[in-house]
Amino acid sequence: MTMNDKPVTNVLIDREDRQSLLEFATTLETIAKKLKEEGSFTMTEGSKETVISPSEHLKVEYSYEIKGEKHSFEIEFDWYTGDKAQSEFSIK
């Protein structure tokens, strides 16, 4: 794939909310429970629903930054589908 053939980024959700610590913790618990039980979770905004179904193998990043009085902690997880999905590796 050449530099000009990069896939286009399709942003499906881009939202910021103000939540209490308890509300945020509940959101994380709900996502974790859905992932454990069903392997996916659904984000709903109005009548729009976006199903997020990660593969079994994830790349997970954690980041904690401080800039002045602002603290930022991020959790990001990425996965591939199709030909780029991670396949099992073994030596026989």
Handedness of CA 43, 49, 52, 53 (dihedral sign): positive
For 30, phi and psi rounded to 5 degrees?
-65, -45
Tell me, what's the pLDDT at 2? 55
Per the model's pLDDT, the better-predicted residue between 89 and 50 turns out to be 50
Per the model's pLDDT, the better-predicted residue between 70 and 3 turns out to be 70
Say if residues 79 and 54 touch (Cβ distance below 8 Å): yes
Say if residues 55 and 78 touch (Cβ distance below 8 Å): no
Tell me, what's the pLDDT at 87? 64
Burial of 11: CB neighbours in 10 Å, binned 0-12, 13-18, 19+: exposed
Tell me, what's the pLDDT at 86? 65
Tell me, what's the pLDDT at 85? 67
Cα gap 63→75, rounded to integer Å: 7
pLDDT of residue 3 exceeding 90: no
Token code pair at residue 28: 């994380």
Q: What is the pLDDT of residues 8-66, one digit of tens each?
A: 999 999 999 999 999 999 999 999 999 999 999 999 999 999 999 999 999 999 999 99
Enter the pTM of the model. Answer: 0.79
